[in-house]
Amino acid sequence: MTNVAVIGAQWGDEGKGKVVDWLASRADVVVRFQGGHNAGHTLVVGGQTYKLSLLPSGVVRGKLGIIGNGVVIDPDALLAEIARLEAQGLAVGPDQLRIADNAPLILPVHAALDRAREVARGDQKIGTTGRGIGPAYEDKVARRAIRVADLAEPETLSAKLDELLLHHNTLLAGLGADTFTKSDLLARLHAWAPRLLPYAEPVWERLDALKREGRRILFEGAQAVMLDVDHGTYPFVTSSNTVAGTAASGSGIGPAAVGYVLGIAKAYTTRVGSGPFPSELHDETGRLLGTRGHEFGTVTGRARRCGWFDAVQVRQAVKVGGIQGLVLTKLDVLDGLPEIHVCTGYLLDGARITRLPASPAAQARVTPVYESIEGWSASTRGARSWSDLPAAAVKYVRWIEELTEAPLAILSTSPDRDDTILVRDPFAG
């Protein structure tokens, strides 16, 4: 058996939560390896709904959860999430959750700068959630971040804050926003220390031991390949690498241990926030997809933009993301449509292309080229075998496999974790 990494193959919100929950029941440990509390997974287990942003989905199943060094952690958000799950009857103590001691912290100054920059952009907003994720990653690469391990050395925090505030207060003042005092941030850090440090450890050591013991490790990605800071629709992207290779660097394990890469895609396409979206629909069909699919962001509550399946974009995500098997979700949302369109190419300045260009200006100019397929009238919702599906729905799924050059591993036909057709067991490699 092998380990499994789950990543999004579109612009996020593809239903990774259900898939990770379904796989977590067979894993020994679930690892979050990038992103922050701008990610969101909604899980429905035993009639109970759990909304997660930082915690690995496995904690809902009683599995060990690990937050890797590639994640940026807002202590207030994490502690509030732990308290919320404990109020729902789950245990989320140090026996159930470990946090990388070299993970960077998101401070209130990061969120303030994130919001001030977005206001200053005016009509050119990126669509950030304003939670401080980007500025926290900036501090990490600029070598001024305060990390979890620093909480255990309070005598060093004052000097670290001096350097951090020299940078951030200058920017905030220039943007006309309120600045921060060192005493306030220092008090917050001292208050967080006794609550976070019991969870902290060098998680790379634990993961190495688990790997040697032959335990199943499930790596849980946030966002999606088209939001990757290098490979996505830059600059309308997240602040981290979302491809499967980040599972290694973001958790402290060798790349060979990442295992089978599973990419999640909806049977149509959605996107939250700003940025190019070639197959977006602004008509009644787009509104129908949003209504049927309950397309609202788990974290932001913002309505998602909806459109036809974009095979060009997903095929690109398959190649750069290292995806070996595809999960197709929300097939039931397409039930009853007389005809279904798929974007199979783009036109850019009159020429047909089969990739999303790197240039933001070129991305804004591409227009979709569609091919269509007959829809189906019978319901696919709740199907648990191929025989439960209309022939036209099976034909659509097989067409998606061909267009994306990715074999189907799992088909999801409702939010219920058991409404799943397993084509290939990811843990089998």
- Are 390 and 241 part of one and the same domain? no
Give mean pLDDT, residues 16-30. 89
- Are 175 and 285 part of one and the same domain? no
Q: How many domains does the chain have?
A: 3
pLDDT tier at 47 (50, 70, 90 boundaries)? confident
Is the backbone of residue 328 left (phi > 0), alpha (psi -120 to 50) or beta? beta
Q: Which of 21, 28, 37, 41 is catalytic?
A: 41
Query: Is the CA virtual torsion 55, 223, 75, 258 positive or negative?
Result: positive
Q: Are 306 and 270 in contact, with CB atoms under 8 Å apart? A: yes
Res 221 pLDDT > 90 = yes
Q: Are 145 and 105 in contact, with CB atoms under 8 Å apart? A: yes
Q: What are 83-116's pLDDT values in tens digits? A: 999 999 999 999 999 999 999 999 999 999 999 9
CATH number at residue 339: 3.90.170.10
- Are 25 and 128 part of one and the same domain? no
- Are 160 and 208 part of one and the same domain? no
CATH number at residue 120: 1.10.300.10
pTM here is: 0.93
- Are 288 and 304 part of one and the same domain? yes
> Helix/strand/coil (H, E, C) string of 226-266?
HHCCCCCCCCCCCCCCCCCCHHHHCCCCCHHHCCEEEEEEE
- Are 284 and 226 part of one and the same domain? no
Predicted confidence at residue 327, as pLDDT, reads: 97
- Are 250 and 382 part of one and the same domain? no
Q: What are 289-318's pLDDT values in tens digits? A: 999 998 886 666 778 999 999 999 999 999
- Are 121 and 97 part of one and the same domain? no
Q: What are 233-244's pLDDT values in tens digits? A: 999 999 999 999
Helix (H, G, I), strand (E, B) or coil at 188: helix
Q: What percent of the chain has pLDDT over 90?
A: 82
- Please say if 41 is a catalytic residue: yes
- Please say if 208 is a catalytic residue: no
- Are 207 and 89 part of one and the same domain? yes
Full residue range of the structural domain in which residue 214 is found = 4-101+200-260
Q: Which of 13, 74, 101, 310 is catalytic?
A: 13
- Are 214 and 69 part of one and the same domain? yes
Residue burial 141-170, b: 16+ Cβ < 10 Å; e: rest: eeebbbbbebbeeeeebeebbeebbebbbe
Helix (H, G, I), strand (E, B) or coil at 28: coil
Is the backbone of residue 349 left (phi > 0), alpha (psi -120 to 50) or beta? left
- Are 323 and 395 part of one and the same domain? yes
Give mean pLDDT, residues 340-354. 97
Q: Are 6 and 20 in contact, with CB atoms under 8 Å apart? A: yes
Where is the domain boundary, 196, 217, 234?
Answer: 196
Res 415 pLDDT > 90 = no
Is the backbone of residue 8 left (phi > 0), alpha (psi -120 to 50) or beta? beta
- Are 297 and 359 part of one and the same domain? yes
Give mean pLDDT, residues 113-142. 87
**Nearest CA-CA partner of 363 in 305, 289, 312:** 312
Q: What percent of the chain has pLDDT over 70?
A: 99
> Residues 6 or more apart from 208 whose CB is under 8 A from it?
253
Tokens at residue 287, please?
Answer: 């509104």
Where is the domain boundary, 240, 260, 280?
Answer: 260
